[in-house]
A and B are shown apart, each in its own frame.
Chain A
Amino acid sequence: MCLAVPVRIIECDGVKATVDIDGVRREVVVAFIDNPQVGDYVLLHAGFAIVKWTQDDVREFEAIVNREPAPAEQDGGSRD
Chain B
Amino acid sequence: MIDRLHLIREQAAAIARPVRIMEVCGTHTVAAFRAGIRALLPPGVSLISGPGCPVCVTPTEFIDQAIALSKLPATIIATYGDMLRVPGTDTSLERARAGGGDVRVVYSAEDALILARANPGRTVVFLGVGFETTTPPTAWVVRQACGSVSNFKVLSSHKTMPRAMAALVAGPAIAIDGVLCPGHVSVIIGSKPYEFLARDHHMPCVITGFDPADILAGIAMILTQVAEKRAAVEIQYTRSVKEGGNLLARRIVDAVMMPGDALWRGLGMIPGSGMVLRPDYAACDAMPMLRGCQLPQPCEPAGCMCGDVLKGLITPPMCPMFGTRCTPSDPVGPCMVSSEGSCAAFYKYGR
Query: Which residues of A pack against B, CB within 8 Å?
Result: 1-4, 28-29, 31-34, 43, 45-48, 50-51, 53-54, 56-57, 60-61, 64-65, 67, 79
- Interchain residue pairs with CB less than 8 A apart (23): A1-B54, A1-B82, A1-B131, A1-B134, A1-B340, A2-B130, A2-B182, A2-B183, A4-B133, A29-B108, A29-B137, A31-B252, A32-B136, A33-B248, A43-B187, A43-B240, A45-B137, A46-B107, A47-B108, A48-B136, A50-B133, A51-B242, A54-B239
Query: Which of A4, A33, A47 makes the CB contact (< 8 A) with B184?
Result: A4
When A1-B55, A64-B214 are in contact, do A48 and B108 touch as well, CB less than 8 Å? yes
Range class of the B interface residue count: 35 or more
Known contacts A2-B185, A47-B107, then 9 further A-B pairs from the complex at CB < 8 Å, ordered by chain A residue: A1-B82, A2-B130, A31-B140, A46-B107, A47-B108, A47-B109, A47-B137, A50-B184, A57-B239
Tell me whether A50 and B249 are in contact (CB under 8 A): yes
In the complex, what distance in Å separates the CA atom of A58 from the CA atom of B19? 33
When A4-B133, A31-B248 are in contact, do A65 and B110 touch as well, CB less than 8 Å? no
Could you say which residues of chain A place their CB within 8 Å of the CB of B246? Answer: 32, 50-51
Answer yes or no: B129 CB below 8 A from chain A CBs.
Answer: yes
In the complex, what distance in Å separates the CA atom of A29 from the CA atom of B214? 27
In the complex, what distance in Å separates the CA atom of A58 from the CA atom of B52? 27
The A-contacting residues of B in range 99-123, CB under 8 angstroms, are 107-111
The A-contacting residues of B in range 72-118, CB under 8 angstroms, are 80, 82, 107-111
Q: Give the shortest distance, in Å, between A48 (CB) and chain B (any CB).
A: 5
In the complex, what distance in Å separates the CA atom of A4 from the CA atom of B136? 14
Answer yes or no: B274 CB below 8 A from chain A CBs.
Answer: no
In the complex, what distance in Å separates the CA atom of A46 from the CA atom of B188? 14
Could you say which residues of chain B place their CB within 8 Å of the CB of A56? Answer: 239
When A1-B27, A65-B211 are in contact, do A45 and B80 touch as well, CB less than 8 Å? no
* Candidate in A32, A56, A57 with the most chain B CB atoms within 10 angstroms: A32
**In the complex, which residue of chain B has the Cβ closest to the Cβ of A28?**
B108
Answer yes or no: B1 CB below 8 A from chain A CBs.
Answer: yes
When A1-B55, A47-B109, A57-B240 are in contact, do A32 and B252 touch as well, CB less than 8 Å? yes
In the complex, what distance in Å separates the CA atom of A1 from the CA atom of B129? 9
Answer yes or no: B213 CB below 8 A from chain A CBs.
Answer: yes
The A-contacting residues of B in range 311-330, CB under 8 angstroms, are none
Could you say which residues of chain A place their CB within 8 Å of the CB of B107? Answer: 46-47
The 3 residue pairs across chains A and B that have the minimum distance between CB atoms: A47-B108, A57-B239, A32-B249
Answer yes or no: B25 CB below 8 A from chain A CBs.
Answer: yes
Answer yes or no: B53 CB below 8 A from chain A CBs.
Answer: yes
Query: Which of B53, B109, B185, B240 makes the CB contact (< 8 A) with A53?
Result: B240
In the complex, what distance in Å separates the CA atom of A2 from the CA atom of B187? 11
Q: Give the shortest distance, in Å, between A38 (CB) and chain B (any CB).
A: 19
Answer yes or no: B26 CB below 8 A from chain A CBs.
Answer: yes
**In the complex, which residue of chain B has the Cβ closest to the Cβ of A48?**
B137
When A46-B108, A53-B239 are in contact, do A1 and B80 touch as well, CB less than 8 Å? yes
